[in-house]
Amino acid sequence: SLMDQCHRLFRILKEAQLTKLNIRGSNPEGLEKVIGILLSWQQQAMSHPNDVQACIVNKVANWPNLGPFDFADLDICLRLVDRGSDRANDVFLSRAKAIVDDETTAPKDFKALLSHIETMLFFLKYVKTEDLQLTHEEFQRSNSKLHPLVQSYLEWAKQAYCPGKELVQLSDEGSLQDKGTVTKVLENLRKPNKDSLF
């Protein structure tokens, strides 16, 4: 199968690196054929083939020292960015492409960084729908079952972070998909809190 062939080709790339063979320098046409086969597999194996996946394949095939990164890691990275085209996915894919295109980002770091983007976008998607007052009410309902020390911390949090004193202040017109708004939110989070318990 094409996947088995790609797996073997990937092993050859890794073995060439271990023996210090520079395939790009000694056989650039051969490396381009390997990349073409990997891209054919990527096009067939993914539900939503896209440019970010092609960039990952190219970067991995051309990276001089893959280290622990293997074919399974390549597959996982391609699946992390296997997304159709809509607003949320476009934001994710643009951030993912910036990471992949960064010259200093090694393939071994792709999985963690792509997962981090996903986590941040999930947070940004739902942060505006959070209701701090409802959160306080939910904790109040379970208050009788809690240890007195935990109750005291919750009471402190209720005083320190009452509605209007949230850690992140968002205006109705501010979009957390906008770089300027995200920068302002991060700056606010970095400011020391005078009411801090610690």
Residue-level pLDDT at 56? 97
Q: Is the pLDDT of residue 115 over 50?
A: yes
Distance from first CA to last CA of the chain, Å, rounded? 59
- Looking at every residue in the chain, the average pLDDT score rounds to 82
For the chain, count helices (H), then strands (E). Answer: 10, 0
The answer, as to whether pTM is greater than 0.75, is no
Question: Residue 198 — very low, low, confident or very high, per pLDDT cuts 50/70/90?
Answer: very low
Confidence of residue 24 (pLDDT cuts 50, 70, 90): confident
**Nearest-angstrom CA–CA distance, 117 and 98:** 11
pLDDT of residue 79: 96
Question: What b/e readout covers 51-62, taking b as 16+ CB neighbours within 10 angstroms?
Answer: ebbbbbbebbbe
Is 97's pLDDT higher than 80?
yes
Q: What is the pLDDT of residue 139?
A: 73
Cα separation, 123 vs 172, whole angstroms: 17
Helical segments of 19-109, H only: 23-26, 28-45, 51-62, 71-80, 87-101
- Residue 181: pLDDT band with limits 50, 70, 90: low
